Amino acid sequence: MIRQIIKKQFLVLWRNPVQLLLLIALPIILIFILGCALSSFMNGDTPEIQAKIAIIEHRSETEQLDQFLLDMNGRTDFHKENMVNMEKALPIQTLKSIFNTEALSEMMEVEEVSVSKKEEILNDNSYTAVIEVPEDFTYKYLSHTLLNGDEMAELLVMGNEQQQIGAGVIHSIIENFQQQLTLGTFLEQKGLDQQIMSLSDSLLKSKRTSLQQNKIITAKDYYTVGMAVMNALFIASTIGTIAFREKKMFVFNRIILANMSKWVYFSGILCSAVIFTFFQSCIIYGFAWLIFDVTWENMFAFLIITIAFSVAVGGIAVLLTAISYQMHSETITNFFSGAIVALMALVGGSFFPIGDSSELIHVIGNFTPNGSGMSAYLSILRGNSVQEISSHILFLCLFGVAMIIIAALTFPKKGEMV
């Protein structure tokens, strides 16, 4: 008889194509959208930046340097030997060399523009940023550095609002450049050698070794698992809703009148939820394997996790059924599908690896069936063994058994049926 109840549940679900579409197609669509949209972020890729920079100098640094040396001639507070390092590291010359380094030259094109073309450049949206160097910038810099002058040298940096990422990167480079100049000025004023700003290469040499030879989890891997375990929870609410509607339509009463034990019906609901969850998971993961190449090298571990997770979802399904029968209302089922699933998905990490930012949230997430199942699936995808996920499998089985026991105790007795 349990088989007949399972068959009945399957036919009811099959005749509701909208519900079936939501349970199967929705997670597939979400995997496709989230996996593609967040692939760069999840995979740690840096966004490709192509920036065009215009540098407008009102006066060349060479002229300003010559003018500074001429003005300093004969001054007792100026020692020409201090210029030895300064001539090798003039500020604008240094800034240009930074933009021309191998790392930045691939994504930033630097163009020196005459003052007469300033308006034309400012109206050209192809430029990411315009750096305007005042006429006496280098002169003021040398005066402040070597003579402790009060007047600070200032650059004018204008970013293109339509290229915010590139402009933000350029502003960061300029700010870092400014910090280096400030540090250099401090060292010069204290009579310290500026070579201490750069560490010896021998101190920076290191050997990179891999601590784990595990497979890297991509965005498509992550969201395949995340959406699969989240949407499996809707199986529980769907089965609970179908069961309650059968009670309203007196289907359950007719089953009891036919001298069938309520526990047969109870077991049929449980088995239906377990089987439906298992097949839903297999369909979703099969699609991900065909389209996104999400491969399970350890199929035995995959099947063990899927069965354990299906039992946990089945336990939730019979508990929702028992509570709705006891309350004579499907409010709890609706609340579960509308609010609790979303909360469990958030804490469990279906939308984002929130557990990485907090150990407490990670622990709490693993005490949800979807979070524990997700941790187990991802662990297998990384190449870990069944022994390493045994705690997750045990939790899912115990969670499912606990839900079944509570549901059995909650399920109304024969005299309480309405």
pLDDT of 206 strictly over 70: no
Cα–Cα distance measured from residue 370 to residue 344, given in angstroms and rounded to the nearest whole number:
7
pLDDT for 305 equals 93
Q: Quick one: pLDDT at residue 84?
A: 55
Task: List CB contacts of 79: < 8 A, sequence separation 6 or more.
Answer: none
Q: Which residues pair with 156 in a beta bridge?
A: 132
Give 251-288 pLDDT, tens digit per residue.
666 666 656 677 777 788 889 889 999 999 999 898 88
Q: Where are the domains of the chain?
A: 1-43+213-410, 51-203
Over residues 33-60, mean pLDDT = 70
Neighbours of 271 (CB within 10 A): 17
Higher pLDDT, 371 or 188: 371
Return the top range by mean pLDDT from 65-69, 144-148, 319-323: 319-323
Lowest mean pLDDT among 63-77, 105-119, 263-277, 332-346: 63-77
Please give the Cα distance from 100 to 84 (Å, whole number): 24
User: Is the pLDDT assigned to residue 31 strictly greater than 60?
Assistant: yes
| CATH architecture of the region 51-203 | 3-Layer(aba) Sandwich (3.40)
Q: What are phi and psi of 352, to 5 degrees?
A: -160, 145
When computed from its CA atoms, the radius of gyration of the chain, rounded to whole angstroms, is: 34
Question: What pLDDT is attached to residue 257?
Answer: 60
45, pLDDT greater than 60:
no
21 burial type by CB count under 10 A (0-12 exposed, 13-18 middle, 19+ buried):
exposed
Q: How confident is the model at residue 196 (pLDDT cuts 50, 70, 90)?
A: very low
The pLDDT of residue 71 is 78
Answer yes or no: is pLDDT of 41 > 80. no
Cα angle value 1/4/19 (rounded, 5°): 140
pLDDT of residue 401: 94
The pLDDT of residue 400 is above 90: yes
Nearest to 234 by CA among 4, 2, 20, 11: 20
Q: What pLDDT is attached to residue 315?
A: 92
Percent of the chain with pLDDT over 70: 77
Q: Tell me the average pLDDT across 144-161.
A: 75
262 SS3 class:
helix
209 or 411, higher pLDDT = 411
**Per-residue pLDDT, 4:** 74
Q: Looking at mean pLDDT, say which of 71-75, 85-89, 334-338 comes out highest.
A: 334-338
Mean pLDDT of the chain: 78
pLDDT band at 384 (very low <50, low <70, confident <90, very high): confident
Q: pLDDT of 288-332, one tens digit each?
A: 888 888 888 888 999 999 999 999 999 999 998 888 888 888 888
Helix/strand/coil for 78 = coil
- For residues 145-160, give the mean pLDDT: 75
pLDDT band at 205 (very low <50, low <70, confident <90, very high): very low
Judged against a pLDDT cut of 80, whether residue 222 lies above it is answered with yes
As given in the structure block, the two tokens for residue 124 are 């050209």
Q: Give CA–CA dist 17/381, Å, rounded.
A: 32
pLDDT for residue 203: 38
Q: Measuring CA to CA, how many Å separate 257 from each of 118, 261, 339?
A: 91, 9, 36
Using DSSP bridges, classify how beta strands 129-133 and 156-159 pair: parallel, antiparallel or unpaired: antiparallel
Of 39-48, 68-77, 142-151, 329-338, where does mean pLDDT reach its minimum? Answer: 39-48
